[in-house]
Structure 1
Amino acid sequence: MLVLKFGGSSVATSENLKKVQQIVKDQSQNNTVSVVVSALGGITNQLQECATQAAKGDEGYKDKLVEVEKRHLALCNDLLSVQKRSETLTRTKLLLNDLEDICRGVYLIQELSSRSLDHILSYGEILSAGIIADFFKSSGLDAKFLDSRELIKTNSRFGKASVDFSISYSKIRDQLSKPSQVSVFPGFVASSKEDGSVTTLGRGGSDYTAALIAAAVQADELQIWTDVSGMMTSDPRMVNNAHPIEHLSYEEAMELSHFGAKVIYPPTIQPVLDADIPVHIKNTFEPDENGTLISREGPEEGEVVKGTSSIEEIALCTLTGSGMIAVPNISSRLFGSLSRQHVNVIMITQASSEHSITVGISLEDVDRAKKAISEEFAYEIENHKINPLDVETGLSIIALVGSRMKKQVGVSAKLFDTLSHNGVNVRAIAQGSTELNISVVINKKDLKKSLNSIHEAFFLSDRKKLNLFMIGVGNVGKVFIDQVKAQQEYLSEKHHLDVFIAGLANSRQMYFDEEGIDLDNWQALMEEKSEKMDHQVFLQNMQELNLRNTVFIDSTASEDVAKLYQDVLESSISIVTPNKIACSSDYKTFKKLTDSALKYKSKFLYETNVGAGLPVISTLNDLIKSGDQVHKIQAVLSGTLNFIFNNYDGTKKFSEVVKDAKAAGFTEPDPRLDLSGKDVMRKILILARVSGFEMELNDITNNSFVPDECMNTDTLEEFYDKLDENEEVFQKLYKEAADQGKRLKYVATYEDGESETGLEAFASDHPFFNLGGKDNIVLFYTNRYSEQPLVVKGAGAGAAVTASGIFADVMKIASA
């Protein structure tokens, strides 16, 4: 025999019920089938509201009853032909009349007992089961209606009655011993063995009914048909990539269900577990999909972690105090007080010092729990032996479940590492010696990010999603966006990396889309849907979206944006930036940023601060981390100045060459920054700091070659005019070098704790002589490279190479 249970969504409409009928027909071809059905989707809630309104003396309950009646009568008309619907309509109408009478009684006396509520709620299943049984018969199935109230006997604890298994199993077996192809039972309902009063089986009651029937007759399989294709690896409402689990053990299924997986309810499994009957979770709307099989033994091979489950709202209650240490019965008293108030404990954690006990409970139980514990320990609290109960709310719990975790080293480490790298603080931890479940309590605001991060780490370990937020969509920013757009498909297919830009901003506007901005249309979206740019609001939005694997990119030269870095890193968000302001500010700020990146498990990458896309800083870091020591750095670090002096030969005015460099995108928006040498000073300062030397910008000697009157101008036009007035100065510099067969290069040098920048002439035997175009070159003299320096050379300016350097840093974070 097979037992099939169909939930409220499966029986919600006539169209859905036609799918149910086909499933039952297919399953009954080679098997005797018992079908357990829930109330029509949403009806139980309507009946609950109806009863509550009636008890308050609110005549609105009548409108609810009319809605319930219309829905059931419409279902009869949709499913049954005119010739066959009369009897069903009559019986349905009589049941609805009885329901109306009971509700009117509640309305008149304005009192709703648990017994009356059970009676009212029972009508949902009784009505649906009767209509469905008649529909099955009318479609040619050998079907009969069996009243669960006559078969399942309980005590008189209304609302959540306890089943008498011996009596119930005997009655079920007797009834099902009579041959019939299909038997239809209403779920959820039962009756008191004492006086026959209607009782209900509580939450998950229809599943429980099906499990009781399956266990009573030793069914071959219990099938639970619902609107999802089995139990999922995570909550699909929060994790888009969640997928069905093919096979679970009973214990794994119960753990997942206990922590919020809604497909089944834990008590459902117990009768079939005792009887060793497999449970199959199937999708009514996708019947050919495999679903999830639950049996005594899960598969020997497969994922170590089977799934994650969560409860969105919990509270932590913590009892602390020196009066608890080595005192017997503290735990017994604590849990006894909660038990007497019917408070369910979700998790428990206690330090070995015995100074504290923490329990996790449902948010709805907080007031009762606080009152119970405070009264139980009133004497100890009054005498300061135990502190008043500490209650924390705004929390969620995540459970990692898998029977094979016991045999696998490093599962906990991977879990906590994943959470820490995404800035998620764990408030409490619980893990039993069976290692079937690792539970962590986190802030509710981190739940979605945590579930996605954990799911990615354990179930999609070969895939990763990166969420980028960028301020600055000028020359470099636009090229970077184009590069991301061009590489998205390749990275997804070849490297299983999904890169999305979730936030963009310039000096005027900012725009966000947590699903990823459409990069084909980003400029129009910024114009149409953006909000006014505010640096703090941009930071706040990025923090509140709270996406996993977030990277903040600053492609500006703004000091205000650089001031955000500390808050960004403390939010465990990584930073990639070509903006040199932060790294070349005072040493204390630089050190605080690098230390914060370590402390908050984020990355602070600024490769493009020096040499645009060249691997200068990464090469230097590799040297230092591997134990080498830098003695001297000599470098041409301005692609702009190298371009200018490679193109200035006295035949064209110096100002015109500077304008050419600006037009080619090689200079800062204001070329005076490049020509002042301050940009080069910042770069050599950063290299010195990365080398391990504490240095400030004013420690560097700047030997400027541009006359002060050129630099002290108010506008660029005035600046260019002053360059023309001083053309003789530049002609002289060029001629003196050329006469010696040398070439001019603007050089930064660090050696023995001292640093300077300035224009120098180099002969043909020096590596700098043939440095062409906008290229940069860095010579590292170290313990290992003492005679012949380590040379890093290549294009050091331009939007494309800078954007590619930013992209390379982003990829480093992705692969970390």
Structure 2
Amino acid sequence: MKVLKFGGTSVANSQNILQVEKIIKKEALKNQIVVVVSALHDVTDNLIQAAESASKKDEKYIQIVKNIEEKHLNLVKELVPVLEQSSWLSFVKKHINDIEDICNGIFVLGEFTDRIKDKITSYGEFLSSNIIVSRLKSEGIDAVWINSAENIITNSNFTNAKVNFEHTESNFQKSISKNQHQVIVVPGFIAKDEKGNPTTLGRGGSDFTASIIASAINAEELQIWTDVDGMMTSDPRLVSNAKPIAEISYHEAMELSHFGAKVLYPPTILPVMVKNIDLRIKNTFNLEAIGTLISHNLIKSDIENEQIAVGISNMSNISLLTLEGNGMIGIPGISAKLFQCLSNEKINVILITQSSSEHSITIAINEKDALNAENAINNTFEDDIRLKKVNPVNIENSLSIVALVGENMKSRSGVSAKMFGCLGNNGINIRAIAQGSSEKNISIVISEKDIKKAVNVLHEEFFESEIKQVHLYICGTGNVGEKLIQQIYDQNEYLKENLLINLRIVGLSNSRKMIFSDKGISENEYENFIKNGENASVKKFADEIINRNLRNSVFVDVTASSEIPNIYEKLLKKSINIVACNKIAASSDFENYKTLKTITRNHSCKFFFETNVGAGLPIIGTINDLIRSGDKITSIQAVLSGTLNFVFNNYDGSKPFSEVVLQAQKDGYTEPDPRMDLAGTDVARKILILAREAGYSLEFNEIENIGFLPKECMQGSVEEFYQSLIKYENHFKNLLNEAQKDGKRLKYVAEFKDGKAKVGLQHIAPESDLYHLYGKDNIVIFKTLRYSEQPLVVKGAGAGSEVTASGVFADIVRSI
């Protein structure tokens, strides 16, 4: 014999009940079955709503009851043959009248007790199960109705009654085991106490009813039919990639259901677990789905090849209560006193953790019980609080519990490290931790606002080893930004296939517009985002990133804005990785630079700015590798401006200096105002960044900048600048001639040595590594303790939107 339970969504309407009928017919061909049904969808809530309205003298209850009546009458008309409808319509009306009488009494008395609540809510399952039996009989199925309330005996703890299993099992064995009908229909949820008063088994109690019956009759299998494909690796409302769990042990299922897996009512497991009866969860609306098998008899393969965890569950609306004080240390009975006072108030403790010093005890409870718990604890420890042995209880609200569950966790090292590491890397602060001695479950308490992010991070880490989802927020859509975005679109399939990374652009901004999409901005949307975006705001862009709170977030700055680096600190403190082409932050005041570096370390995030110097060349990365390996940089000599190198490589006196500069601007090597490049400010910032990364404290104003432009060239508009270049052509020719007469070339060089830095034009001899530097190439020559005789040289293209974008791209991948 099998027991099948159908939940509220499965019997929500006539169409769904016809689907249930198909399942019943199929199973009844092979076995005698017991069918346990819930109330129609929302009916229990509506019954409670009607009673609560009546208790508040609100006549709205009359309409609510009428709606309940209409729902059941329509169901009879749709399911029962016309000739048989009259008696069943009368049946419904009679019991709806009873409900109305109860509500009228509540209205008069203004009182709605738990005992009355059990009385009125029991009508939901009573009505649905009788109507379903009438349908099955009309279809020629050998079906009979048995009242679970006459068989399940409980105590008088109304709304959540405790079952007397000995009497209950005896009753069911008598009423079901000898019953010859092929289909036995039983209402779930409802019971009676020993005095005959209606009681209920708690919300979700229909599952429990089915489990009690399965245990009593030693059923072959218990099936829970619902609207999902089984127990899932996580809540599919939070995790789009949640997967059905094919097989799971009783203990694992119990842990998941206790911590919020809604598909199974936690008490359901125990009766069938004791009798070693398989429990299968199936989808009423997807018969092809295998579902989830919960059993003792699972076939275990090699433990090393099995998944560490089976699922992640979560509970919201949690409060943490902490009782602490020096007077608790070494004093026996403190915990007993605490839990007894909570028990007296019928407050369920979900999670417990205690410091090893015995200085504090922290518990997690439902948020709705927090105020009652606070009063109960403070009253219980009133004398200790007055004597300052114990502090008044501290309460934190708006929290959630996340539990990682799996029996294999106990035999695998590093699970906690993996769990806490991925959460920490995403800026998720853990308020409390609990791990049972069985090591089947690691539970954490976090802020409610982090719940979606945390569950997705853990699911990705433990269940989605194939692809890691990365969310990109990009500021800047100029030459470099445009190339970067295109490279991401072009290369993403390669990254998925070879690096198991999926880059998703979820935020985009330039100086005018910005757009966001958690699902990702497609290539078509990017091309039209100027039309569709809202007005850009640096502050709002940062706030959106933080508020969206997406896992594996990376902020990418491909601008030259002095405003955008002001949000770096805020983002880093939220453990959002930053990749910056922008040099402002790394070359700002040393204290600000140092602060950003410290925040990066303290918040387990990354701040990469390789393209600040040398575009896509691995210059900063080389410095970092040298320092990390214990080397020390003693000097740096470099040509760091692709613009200036292009200008002086092409200025040979055959055409005016002004024309060479203008050509550089037309080719995209200079800023819109070329003086920003020619003044050496940009080069000074770059050598400053290299010196700092090499471990030296240096400020921008300490760099000696030996300019080569006449003062007049630095004044006025860009047009006036070009006119002054023409005016001072002889000055530039003299600079060139001075170098050439000694067989040397002009190079704009940055140097760092003995803690000091300078930038300026130099005459470079043929034997120097700087001499043979062409086009827009950069070069950096490092001398270190290890590279003292033969220096370390990094050389290559140091300018251009394509190579700069590729350097930013490389930093993005490196930051993941």
Residue aligning to 1:609: 612
What is the correspondence of 1:386-425 to structure 2 with a 5 Å cutoff? Answer: 386-425=390-429
Correspondence 1:187 to 2:191:
no
- Structure 2 residue runs without a partner (length 5+): none
Residue aligning to 1:204: 204
How many Å apart are 1:557 and its aligned residue? Answer: 1.4
* SS of match in other structure, 1:767: coil
Q: Identify which range, 582-591 or 211-220, moves more after superposition.
A: 582-591
How many Å apart are 1:595 and its aligned residue? Answer: 1.6
Change (3 A) 1:760 1:141: same
Q: Distance in 1 between matches of 2:614 and 2:388?
A: 64
Name the aligned partner's letter for residue 214 of structure 1: A
Q: Distance in 2 between matches of 1:182 and 1:495?
A: 55
Change (3 A) 1:274 1:722: same
Correspondence 1:118 to 2:118:
yes
Q: Distance in 2 between matches of 1:154 and 1:126?
A: 18
How many Å apart are 1:84 and its aligned residue? Answer: 4.1
Q: Distance in 2 between matches of 1:661 and 1:483?
A: 25
Q: Distance in 2 between matches of 1:496 and 1:13?
A: 45
CA contact (8 A) 2:641 2:798 kept: yes
Q: Distance in 1 between matches of 2:84 and 2:770?
A: 98
Residue aligning to 1:6: 6
In the superposition, the TM-score normalised over structure 1's length comes to: 0.96
CA contact (8 A) 2:169 2:213 kept: yes
What is the correspondence of 1:121-140 to structure 2 with a 5 Å cutoff? Answer: 121-140=121-140
How many Å apart are 1:537 and its aligned residue? Answer: 2.4
Q: Distance in 1 between matches of 2:400 and 2:15?
A: 38
Correspondence 1:27 to 2:30:
no
What is the correspondence of 1:471-490 to structure 2 with a 5 Å cutoff? Answer: 471-490=475-494
Name the aligned partner's letter for residue 158 of structure 2: F
How many Å apart are 1:526 and its aligned residue? Answer: 4.0
CA contact (8 A) 1:685 1:697 kept: yes
Correspondence 1:493 to 2:494:
no
Q: Distance in 1 between matches of 2:475 and 2:370?
A: 44
CA contact (8 A) 2:513 2:529 kept: no
Q: Distance in 1 between matches of 2:11 and 2:779?
A: 73
Name the aligned partner's letter for residue 130 of structure 1: N
How many Å apart are 1:297 and its aligned residue? Answer: 5.2
Q: Deviations over 1:100-158 (max 9, x none)?
A: 23222323333323222212111111111111112222233222222212222222332
How many Å apart are 1:351 and its aligned residue? Answer: 1.0
Residue aligning to 1:751: 753
* SS of match in other structure, 1:794: strand
Residue aligning to 2:468: 464
Q: Distance in 2 between matches of 1:766 and 1:18?
A: 88
CA contact (8 A) 1:248 1:299 kept: no
Name the aligned partner's letter for residue 402 of structure 1: G
What is the correspondence of 1:320-399 to structure 2 with a 5 Å cutoff? Answer: 320-399=324-403
Residue aligning to 1:36: 36
CA contact (8 A) 2:514 2:529 kept: no
What is the correspondence of 1:795-810 to structure 2 with a 5 Å cutoff? Answer: 795-810=797-812
Q: Deviations over 1:398-423 (max 9, x none)?
A: 11111111111111111111111111
Name the aligned partner's letter for residue 661 of structure 1: A
What is the correspondence of 1:350-749 to structure 2 with a 5 Å cutoff? Answer: 350-530=354-534, 532-711=535-714, 713-749=715-751
Q: Distance in 2 between matches of 1:116 and 1:174?
A: 30
Residue aligning to 1:50: 50
What is the correspondence of 1:126-275 to structure 2 with a 5 Å cutoff? Answer: 126-176=126-176, 177-194=178-195, 196-275=196-275
Residue aligning to 1:784: 786
Q: Identify which range, 430-439 or 149-158, moves more after superposition.
A: 149-158
Q: Distance in 1 between matches of 2:500 and 2:66?
A: 54
* SS of match in other structure, 1:58: coil
How many Å apart are 1:527 and its aligned residue? Answer: 3.0
Name the aligned partner's letter for residue 761 of structure 2: L
Name the aligned partner's letter for residue 394 of structure 2: D
CA contact (8 A) 1:420 1:601 kept: yes
Match of 1:319 among 303, 318, 323: 323
CA contact (8 A) 2:125 2:188 kept: yes
* SS of match in other structure, 1:136: helix
Match of 1:794 among 796, 800, 807: 796
Name the aligned partner's letter for residue 323 of structure 1: G
How many Å apart are 1:488 and its aligned residue? Answer: 2.4
Name the aligned partner's letter for residue 513 of structure 2: Q
* SS of match in other structure, 2:524: coil
What is the correspondence of 1:755-774 to structure 2 with a 5 Å cutoff? Answer: 755-774=757-776
Q: Deviations over 1:169-213 (max 9, x none)?
A: 12212222221221111111112232x222211122100110011
How many Å apart are 1:495 and its aligned residue? Answer: 2.5
How many Å apart are 1:98 and its aligned residue? Answer: 2.5
Q: Distance in 2 between matches of 1:87 and 1:173?
A: 31
Q: Percent identity?
A: 51
* SS of match in other structure, 1:668: coil
Name the aligned partner's letter for residue 465 of structure 2: S
Correspondence 1:16 to 2:16:
yes
CA contact (8 A) 1:247 1:299 kept: no
* SS of match in other structure, 1:280: strand
Q: Distance in 1 between matches of 2:285 and 2:35?
A: 17
Name the aligned partner's letter for residue 796 of structure 1: G
How many Å apart are 1:333 and its aligned residue? Answer: 0.6
Q: Distance in 1 between matches of 2:696 and 2:166?
A: 81
In the superposition, the TM-score normalised over structure 2's length comes to: 0.96
CA contact (8 A) 2:515 2:532 kept: no
CA contact (8 A) 1:614 1:794 kept: yes
Q: Distance in 1 between matches of 2:533 and 2:139?
A: 55
Q: Identify which range, 218-227 or 286-295, moves more after superposition.
A: 286-295
Q: Distance in 2 between matches of 1:687 and 1:462?
A: 38
Q: Identify which range, 442-451 or 743-752, moves more after superposition.
A: 743-752
* SS of match in other structure, 2:528: helix
CA contact (8 A) 2:44 2:121 kept: yes
Name the aligned partner's letter for residue 554 of structure 2: V
How many Å apart are 1:773 and its aligned residue? Answer: 1.6
How many Å apart are 1:763 and its aligned residue? Answer: 4.0
Q: Distance in 2 between matches of 1:626 and 1:298?
A: 50
How many Å apart are 1:740 and its aligned residue? Answer: 4.5
Name the aligned partner's letter for residue 698 of structure 1: N
Q: Distance in 1 between matches of 2:93 and 2:500?
A: 59
* SS of match in other structure, 2:503: strand
Q: Distance in 2 between matches of 1:631 and 1:109?
A: 90
How many Å apart are 1:690 and its aligned residue? Answer: 1.3
Q: Distance in 1 between matches of 2:640 and 2:247?
A: 60
How many Å apart are 1:810 and its aligned residue? Answer: 0.4
Q: Distance in 2 between matches of 1:679 and 1:200?
A: 76
Change (3 A) 1:766 1:379: same
Q: Distance in 2 between matches of 1:155 and 1:397?
A: 31
Q: Distance in 2 between matches of 1:453 and 1:568?
A: 18
- Structure 1 residue runs without a partner (length 5+): none
CA contact (8 A) 1:207 1:268 kept: yes
Q: Aligned-pair RMSD on alpha carbons?
A: 1.7
Q: Identify which range, 402-411 or 155-164, moves more after superposition.
A: 155-164
